[in-house]
Chains A and B, each alone.
Chain A
C-alpha cells in the first residue's frame, strides 16, 4: 500500500507570494493533519481534517488555511508569505477507526521563503 505523498517536495517562494501544498493520504485513511517543523519552534500542529471537516486548528495566523476533498486528499495554503514561514511542512494521515489514533507521515514539503 502506498504511503502518504506530498507535493511538491521542495519549493522556493518570495515574501508576499502565496503557496499551496498538497497531501494524499494512505488509501482508506480519512483523517489528515498538518504540522510545521522549524529549528526554532520544533513541530507544531496546524490543522486536522476528517471527512472534509476541519476538526481542530493550531495557533497559527489566518494566513494559513486548509481544506480536505471528498477523496480525503488535503491542501494547505499560506498567503502573503513571510520569511518565518520557511519550514518543513508535514502531512499525516490516520485510519480513524483504530484505538491508537496512530498517524503516518509523508516525506514533507520543504518551503523556503526568500
Chain B
C-alpha cells in the first residue's frame, strides 16, 4: 500500500531564506503523482505543486520547487525567499493510482517563518 512520510513535525525559517520540507513515499506502482498542499490556519488546502513519476524535470511553480529523486523515493518541497505568509501546515500527498482522485497524505510539517 502507498505511504507518505513527512519526518519534520515542525520547522522554523528566517524570512527571505530558503527552506526544504522533506517527503518520502512508498509505492510499487510505476506511474504515480505527487502533490504538495499548504494549509493555513483557516483550514483550506491550497494546491502548490505537482510532480508526475515520469516527469524528467523537477516541477517548479514560482517560489516553489519540488526536488524529485525517484530512486530514493523522495519529493522534497523547496520554498525560496520565505515570506511571513508562508507560515502554515504543508502536506505531501500521493495519488493512489492512475485514474483515481484519492489522495494519500503525509502527517504534515508546520512551518513558521520568523521576521
Judged by a CB distance under 8 angstroms, whether B107 is at the interface is: yes
Contact in complex: B50, A102 (CB < 8 Å):
yes
Binds B, one of A12-20, A61-69, A106-114: A106-114
What residues of chain A lie closer than 8 Å to B100, measured between beta carbons? 48, 55-56, 101
Q: How far is the CB of B19 from chain A (nearest CB, A)?
A: 22
What residues of chain B lie closer than 8 Å to A103, measured between beta carbons? 47, 101, 103
- Interface of B with A (CB < 8 Å)? 33, 35, 37, 42-47, 50, 52, 91, 93, 95-96, 99-108
- Interface of A with B (CB < 8 Å)? 31, 33, 35, 42-43, 45, 48, 50, 55-56, 58, 88, 90, 92, 94, 99-108, 110
Of the A-B pairs whose beta carbons lie under 8 Å apart in the complex, a sample of 25, sorted by A's number, is: A33-B101, A33-B102, A42-B105, A42-B108, A43-B91, A43-B103, A45-B102, A50-B101, A55-B101, A56-B96, A90-B45, A92-B101, A92-B103, A94-B101, A100-B50, A101-B99, A102-B50, A103-B47, A105-B37, A105-B45, A106-B44, A107-B44, A108-B43, A108-B44, A110-B43
